[in-house]
Chains A and B, each alone.
Chain A
Amino acid sequence: MGLFAQINIPAIALFSYSFLFLTILAAKKSKVIYSFLAILLASIFWTGGSMFMRLLLFPGVEFWYQISIIGLFCLPVAFYNFIYEFIGEKGYFLRTIWSFSTVIIVFLNLFGVFLAAPSVSISATGEKIFLYNIQWPIIIIALFTLVVVISMFAMITRDIKRNETYGGRLSPIIIGILILFAGNLADLIPGVSSTSIDTLAGILNAGLLFYALYKRRLFNMTLLASRSTTYVIAGTFVALIFAYFIKPFESFIEKDFYQFYSYKTLIIAISFTLVTLIVYNGVKRLFDHIFVKDEVVQAQLLKNFSFDVSKSLNLDEILTELVRVMQAGVGVDKLYVCMPDENREFYHTVYSSSPLDSQEFKFSFSNPCVRWLNKNNTCLLVKEFQRTVLFKSMWEQEKRQLADLEIECLVPLNCDDELAGILLLAKKSKNSAFNFDDINFLESINSIASIAIKNARMYEKAYLEARTDDLTGLLNRKYFYQMINDEFNKKQNESITLLILNIDDFKLYNQLYGNQEGDAALRNIAHIIKSCVGKSGVTARYSGKEFAVILPNFDVLSTTLLAEEIRGQVAIMNQGMKNEVLKVLTFSAGICAYPYGANNVKQLIENVEMTVFNAKRSGKNKIEVYSLKEPSTIKPGYTTIIRPDVYKEYASTIFALTAAIDTKDHYTFDHSQKVAEYATILATAIGLNDEHIEIIREAALLHDIGKIGIPENILNKKGFLTTEESEIMQKHVENSISIIKHLPSLDYVIPGVIGHHERWDGKGYPRGIAGEDIPLSARCLAIADAFDAMTTQRSYKKALPIEFAVREISKNAGLQFDPVLAKTFVGLVENQKIAV
């Protein structure tokens, strides 16, 4: 027991202090840490010096005694400093006094003023005895220590008083100091002193201080698992084993393996090495298991994640992997991934850890969290964020959303200084707070995931752009071909139907309402088709005004019903959309199904195109099915708007309008009749079909209808018009359009009406368009209009001779008039097919 108490306990104490010292040395330094290191150093001096003195080691008792006593004398002030830093006390006065006094005491004691080095004698039993010559000055040291301890306790009391319920954090320290005291007092009790109980108390005290620091999270426990501490532990352990077992082991070899006795040194050396290796690895594994297990798991996850996402450009795959890794690495219950929308107004939830989670959550770009993440590019802990000024600008709804989802941490996915996404982490499974290691892990994941996600999004965007149509968002024609081939290959043993929808008179629609309105109509129709088809098929924009729908497993009947549904919705599409009345759009559709109507993809497409053409030719607004027999209309009776009987239907309207102008300006009425006559002859001469001729005739009748809105004094003015009057007069074209626009059934005449004052060279009005951009009907009207204007008497001029008019038309061919039409018209006049 005596040996154990005098050597082994100090040895264990020295080991413990050294171990803590090495461990803490690796921690991030702060004033508290430095003050704790000072305690450990003083303790090492005290215990080590004392032990080496007892062992009578070189350079001698005197040296080790001084080392030991320096440590001992410095301990009170080291404790004082530690408490001072630990509780954040202010004021330097006492601290300076104690420190300065300690330096003086230590210095004086080098000369043995307070307690001189002991003398060594050997007892009869061979035991070493250390004799101290205790003099009265030692009382100064005792008093000094007492005063320092009192001031230390006063400091602790003040702090506890200030923070009544927070005394808990100081408990380990107080207990430690009390134990140290008790240990030192026990040393004075005869019989107990030999057990080195003061040293034992010192070990316990150091352990408690260590615990207090750990509780304040001043260092990481993983520091304990550093290589240096593992070496120290393994080394000490092996040294102890061999110190006790080397002799028995030697006798064991000598006794039981005598033949190997001459190799005993080698055997012992090999055994020592092996045991060292085993102990080192055992200690390392144990430490790793206790302290760095989580880190190892996280590192492995990180490595796997990095490898997995580097192989993929699929966003879904990356997000799935990201969520899995985060859940495994940090241990969160729920996790959401938010990505910016196209308009860059919100970050929407695009992925969550469970498909059952609501994905309604979204962050606006102006959300203070987003601003914070953008600025700081690091994890945001909601609890900490709540304590910033920026949090004040959070909306209540935004706060509620975070609270409802129990979000505790937001991780930015930053790439090229841009917030490419946000990860929302709900509370951890064990309800513990996010710690330093978690944040490190999340940030490592973030840097890998950010790049992977950005690449995947770029790829996805490029892939999408390459296969979709910008305007409608449907697949483009190129990708349509790929899709139909793919689907065909997949469905060879089943049926596949192709439906193509071609919008009727879409050019007219564009001319009536402008390209912008036309684009809107295309988008709306695309939306209708997409909604009706859903996931049953693939929808594409086949050409400018054509849409194609690939319908795997559909038969003709179900496809026709689908087309009917689309037609019904397109028919009502424009109702109530705008303030002005928009023309009803219709389409002609063709359907062909494999294997009933085609043997391969090429045939399928050709047959549908032919069917659409037939539907157009036979009156538009029809859904036709390809058949190897005569083309049949599924629902006869759907006819084009432009059918002969329609003209009869609207003749009364046209008559009413022309009659109206007649009452105001009889000349215009006559003029319109004549222009209609000339234009009809010209249209017939250039070989237009009956429908087109009829359109031109009606356009001619209505082309000056806008003159209703021109004041009579300008209409009937004798003499030339002033500039202002001319401007008013020119407005009759727009007036005409405004009137006709409100009669959607007559809108087909608008191209003719609107363009009859345009010139071939582009110098006309109202739009200044040129050449063949001017509708054919308008070009016909322009010549007819000019010819009649020249050959009839007007209020401001007499009728000009026909020859003059013909010459003028010839002269202006290619300038004002279409050269081909002008030539034809001149020919018609010269051949007297047109008579004035």
Chain B
Amino acid sequence: MNFEAKLKKKQYENLWQEYCGFLDLDLENYMQIQKRLMLEQILIWSSSELGKRILKGKQPRTIEEFRRMLPLTTYLDYAQLLLQKQADLLPDTPVLWIETTWEGGKHPVKVAPYTKSMLDTYRSNVVAIFMLATSSGRGNFNIRPNDRMLYGLAPLPYATGLLPLLLDAEVKLQFLPPVKSAEKMTFGERNRKGFELGSQEGIDLFFGLSSVANFIGQSFSSMSSSGAKKNILKYTPKMIMRYLCAKYKSKKNGVPIKPKDLFKLKGFVCAGTDSKCYKKSLEDLWGCRPLEIAAGTEPTCIATEAWDRDGLYFFPDACFYEFIPENEMLQGIEDPSYAPKTYLMDEVIANQNYEIVLTVLKGGAFARYRVGDVYRCLSTDKGNETIKLPRFEFVDRVPTVIDIAGFTRITENSITDVINLSGLGIYDWIACKEYNDDNTPFLHLYVELKQEAIESSAVSKKILVEHLSVYFKYSDSDYHDLKRLLGIDPLEVTILTSGIFDLYKKNNHNSLRRMNPSKHEMMEFLKVHNKSYDKLSVVKK
């Protein structure tokens, strides 16, 4: 019996228990589920060819042994087997392979196998997410068959494309646009078509990247008035009424129409890096506070906010979670041979940042895998009266990766490639992710030019920005989409005066990390710079 059948039997309390009951767990019972499923995973993973190769003959039997014997892994450890899709070497038979771009990898994409059990868990957790998204309190949710969902995410073989398929098996929703036709459209077309259909019949649920939802909301006025040829017959009377009211209100108050004037969303789910930057704006635009979730290609869907939309809670059955404290993570970045310590969910401390390490349960391929995300523990079980589990917020990607609006992942390698391709005479550089006054993220590149380049070629700051942008777009299609789909120009360049990197090195006896050095280090660096020279030129495109 799927969700819809149970819904029709009005077993609301049972449904809540089944899908969202994990939020009622105390930490002890939560860990019991985690550890039991982890033992199952250890058993099947260690006996698979993949596990044997990575474990190099060791045979862990307990979680402690597993953590001791298996060093932390990255995609590189799996690439050889997974990219060839050698299913027989995996812990369990994959039903499908999900793709994503491999930031800074040797291959343009990375793939992750999904087993049937993983998909079952994914499906159940996705239903939980939508129940929570439509709830304002425990046990109180409002999903009904035929609810219309505006779905602004990529189709298969990307992980986000799984969602409509999984949800369809549980409850029949009307996806805007319908899944089959959406598969043939580009990302932009899908959003436009979905919005058009939503305007005609209304939207009950919205799931999208925070940055995309924000962009749609902000350009709503122009989008709703574009396309002069509108067939009024396609619009429901309710929507026509709402549209007229919104138009009147907009004219009267001299403000643009916002989505909330037209749509009464029952639930709004957002995902992607930088969601926290957009949440307030999204609530203002859509009239509904979005429910943030955490998901990825390798780990599946791992965390969701609850009805209070105040921090993420990790699903107990998707992955086994370990956490690297921030200082350990930074030590690992400084010294790649260092093996950072990890802590379990019942060992995390409030107000600390952690890099997450995942073992995908249910026959997944990845074990003790560094997915590259950093979370902050907001509170442990003592902090929240109603939910007794540790509460987190997504901070960002690890410092070595710069993710802008959930679209693009820029690494040291990718910047080096772009600089090399551009042929610009850049001596050295530092890349930081920073936020402007509107809380919009951007990539700030601090560059020192080669002396001969300054003397022999035109390297004005504008030229630098334009040149680099061209090559960023060339080498990274996701970067290109930022401008195309969201109108974001994410690059800012600051030209540093010559000799600053050498001077800093001389003064501090070591170089600065190129990607996202800590704020204190950056401050020190700029102090050195300011002391030596009176003026620092900052140019924005």
Contacts from A to B (Cβ < 8 Å): 88, 162-166, 366, 368, 383, 386-390, 392-393, 395-397
Any A CB within 8 A of the CB of B483: no
Q: Are B37 and A393 in contact (CB under 8 A)?
A: yes
Judge whether B14 is part of the interface by a CB distance below 8 angstroms: yes
Given contacts A163-B8, A165-B8, A366 and B36 within 8 Å (CB-CB): yes
- Please give, as numbers and ranges, the residues of chain A lying within 8 Å of B17 by CB-CB distance: 387-389
Tell me the complex Cα distance, A267–B402, Å.
Answer: 106
Tell me, yes or no, whether B32 is within 8 Å of chain A by CB. Answer: yes
Q: Select from chain B the residue with minimum beta-carbon distance to A389.
A: B21
* CB-defined A-B contacts under 8 Å, sample of 20: A163-B8, A163-B10, A166-B9, A366-B36, A368-B36, A383-B1, A386-B18, A388-B17, A389-B21, A389-B24, A389-B25, A392-B37, A392-B316, A393-B32, A393-B36, A393-B317, A395-B40, A396-B117, A396-B362, A397-B40
Closest 3 CB pairs of A and B: A387-B18, A389-B21, A393-B33
Query: Measured between C-beta atoms, what is the minimum distance from B36 to chain A in Å?
Result: 4
CA distance A535 to B239 in the complex (A): 84
Give the CA-CA distance A366 to B32 in the complex, in Å.
10
Q: Is B14 in contact with A396, judged by CB distance below 8 angstroms?
A: no
B157 within 8 A of A: no
CA distance A387 to B363 in the complex (A): 22
How far is A88 from B146 in the complex, measured between Cα atoms in Å? 22
Task: Please provide the chain B residues from 109 to 165 with a CB less than 8 Å away from any CB of chain A in the complex.
Answer: 117, 144-146
In the assembled complex, B22 has its CB within 8 A of some CB on chain A: yes
CA distance A397 to B91 in the complex (A): 13
Which of B8, B33, B144, B363 lies in contact with A392, CB distance below 8 A?
B33
Contacts A389-B17, A396-B362 known; 16 new A-B pairs at CB < 8 A: A88-B10, A162-B144, A163-B8, A163-B10, A164-B146, A383-B1, A386-B18, A387-B14, A388-B17, A389-B24, A392-B33, A392-B317, A393-B32, A393-B33, A393-B36, A396-B363
Residue of B nearest to A367 (CB): B36
Q: How far is the CA of A162 from the CA of B7 in the complex (A)?
A: 10
| CB-based nearest B residue for A166 | B8
Q: Distance in Å from the Cβ of B57 to the closest Cβ of chain A?
A: 19
Q: How far is the CA of A419 from the CA of B522 in the complex (A)?
A: 64
Chain B 13-59 interface residues, beta-carbon cutoff 8 Å to A:
14, 17-18, 21-22, 24-25, 29, 32-33, 36-37, 40
Bound form: Cα–Cα A390–B317 in Å: 11
Residues of B within 8 A of A (CB): 1, 7-10, 14, 17-18, 21-22, 24-25, 29, 32-33, 36-37, 40, 92, 117, 144-146, 316-317, 362-363
- Complex formed: what's the CA distance from A562 to B9 in Å? 69
For B144, the closest partner residue in chain A by CB is A162
CB pair B21 A396 closer than 8 Å: no
Q: How far is the CA of A162 from the CA of B144 in the complex (A)?
A: 7
Give the complex CA separation of A76 and B1 in angstroms: 37
Closest approach, in angstroms, between the C-beta of B507 and any C-beta of chain A?
55
Roughly how many angstroms separate A368 CA and B316 CA in the complex, as a whole number?
14
**A90 → chain B, closest Cβ, in Å?**
12
Interface of A is mostly: helix
Smallest distance from the beta carbon of A380 to chain B beta carbons, Å? 15
B21, A388: Cβ atoms under 8 Å? yes
CB pair A164–B363 under 8 Å, yes or no, is no
The residue of chain A having its C-beta at the shortest distance from the C-beta of B24 within the complex is A389
In the bound complex, what is the Cα–Cα distance between A166 and B6 (angstroms)? 11
The closest CB in chain B to the CB of A371 belongs to B32
Among residues of A, the one whose C-beta sits closest to the C-beta of B20 is A389
B169–chain A nearest beta-carbon distance, Å: 16
Please pick, from A164, A166, A392, A395, the residue contacting B22 in the complex, using a CB distance under 8 A: A392
Q: Write out the residue numbers on chain B whose beta carbons fall within 8 Å of the beta carbon of A166.
A: 8-9
Q: What separation, in Å, do the CA atoms of A88 and B40 have in the docked complex?
A: 43
A395 nearest in chain B by CB position: B40
Chain A's nearest CB lies how many Å from the CB of B294?
A: 18
Chain A neighbourhood of B317, CB < 8 A: 392-393
Complex CA gap A88/B8 in Å reads 13
- List chain A residues, Cβ under 8 A from B117: 396
Q: Which residues of B contact A386 (CB under 8 A)?
A: 18
For A165, list chain B residues within 8 Å (CB).
8
Nearest-CB residue, chain A, relative to B318: A392
**Nearest CB of A to B28, in Å:** 13
Q: With the chains together, A28 CA to B487 CA distance in Å?
A: 65
User: Are B145's CB and A164's CB within 8 A?
Assistant: yes
Residue ID in chain A nearest B33 by CB atoms:
A393
Tell me, in angstroms, the Cα distance from A758 to B472 when the chains sit together.
86
A173 shortest CB reach to chain B, Å? 16
- In the bound assembly, the distance between CA atoms of A163 and B10 in angstroms comes to 9
Tell me which residues across on chain B come within 8 A of A162, comparing CB atoms: 144
**In the complex, A388 Cα to B21 Cα: how many Å?**
7
How far apart sit A718 and B14, CA to CA, in the bound complex (Å)? Answer: 90
Closest to A88 in B: B10
Residues of B within 8 A of A368 (CB): 36
Q: What A residues does B24 contact at CB under 8 A? A: 389
| Set of chain A residues within 8 Å of B32, measured between Cβ atoms | 393
Q: How far is the CB of B323 from chain A (nearest CB, A)?
A: 21
Name B18's closest neighbour in chain A (CB-CB). A387
Which partner residue on chain B sits nearest A167 by CB separation?
B8
Cβ of A393: which chain B residues have Cβ within 8 Å of it?
A: 32-33, 36-37, 316-317
Task: Provide the bound-state CA to CA distance between A188 and B17, in Å.
Answer: 53
Q: Which residues of B contact A392 (CB under 8 A)?
A: 22, 33, 37, 316-317
Q: Which residues of A contact B37 (CB under 8 A)?
A: 392-393, 395
Look across to chain B and name the residue whose beta carbon is closest to the beta carbon of A165. Answer: B8
- Nearest chain B CB to A397's CB is how many angstroms away? 7
Closest A-chain residue to B30, C-beta based?
A: A389
Complex Cα distance A357/B109, Å? 49
Distance (whole angstroms) from the CB of A128 to the closest CB of chain B: 51
Nearest-neighbour CB distance to chain A for B124, whole angstroms, equals 8
A116 to chain B, nearest CB (A): 46
A393 to B36, CA, bound (A): 6
CB distance from A207 to the nearest CB of B (A): 24
| Residues of A with C-beta under 8 A to B363 | 396
Measured in the bound complex, the distance between the Cα atoms of B445 and A63 in whole Å is: 97
Which residues of the partner chain B approach A395 to less than 8 Å between Cβ atoms?
36-37, 40
| Measured CA separation A386–B120 after assembly (Å) | 13
Q: State A366–B40 Cα separation when bound (angstroms).
A: 12
Whether A388 pairs with B18 at a CB distance below 8 angstroms is yes
Query: Please, how many angstroms separate the alpha-carbon atoms of A392 and B22 in the complex?
Result: 9
| Distance of B29 from chain A, by nearest CB (Å) | 8
Chain B hits for A390, CB < 8 A: 33
> Can you name the residue of chain A whose Cβ is closest to the Cβ of B21?
A389
CA distance A162 to B10 in the complex (A): 11
Expressed in whole angstroms, the minimum distance between the Cβ of A317 and any Cβ of chain B is 37
Contact B40 A396 (CB under 8 A): yes
Q: Report how far A695 CA is from B362 CA in the complex, Å.
A: 65
Enumerate chain B residues within 8 angstroms of A396, measured Cβ to Cβ: 40, 92, 117, 362-363
Chain A residue contacts of B1, Cβ below 8 A: 383
Chain A residues closer than 8 Å to B9, beta-carbon distance = 166
Q: For B9, B21, B146, which residue has the most chain A Cβ atoms within 10 angstroms?
A: B21
Contacts of B92 in A (CB 8 A): 396
- Which B residues touch A389, using CB under 8 A? 17, 21-22, 24-25, 29, 33
Instruction: Quote the shortest CB–CB distance from A418 to chain B (angstroms).
Output: 21
State A383–B5 Cα separation when bound (angstroms): 14
Complex Cα–Cα for A162 and B9 (A): 12
The residue in A366, A392, A393, A395 that gathers the most chain B C-beta atoms within 10 A of its C-beta is A392
Q: Determine the distance from Cα of A388 to Cα of B7 in the docked complex, in whole angstroms.
A: 16
Q: Which residues of B contact A163 (CB under 8 A)?
A: 7-8, 10
Most buried by B among A386, A388, A390, A396: A396
Q: With A and B bound together, what is the CA distance between A717 and B22 in angstroms? A: 76
| B289 vs chain A, min Cβ distance (A) | 24
Q: How far is the CB of A399 from chain B (nearest CB, A)?
A: 8
Closest to B124 in A: A392
Distance in angstroms from B131 CB to nearest chain A CB is 14
CB neighbours (8 Å) of B7 from chain A are 163
The residue on A at minimum CB distance from B115 is A396
Give the nearest-CB partner of A164 in chain B: B145
A117 to B32: give the CA distance in the assembly, Å. 74
Determine the distance from Cα of A387 to Cα of B20 in the docked complex, in whole angstroms: 10
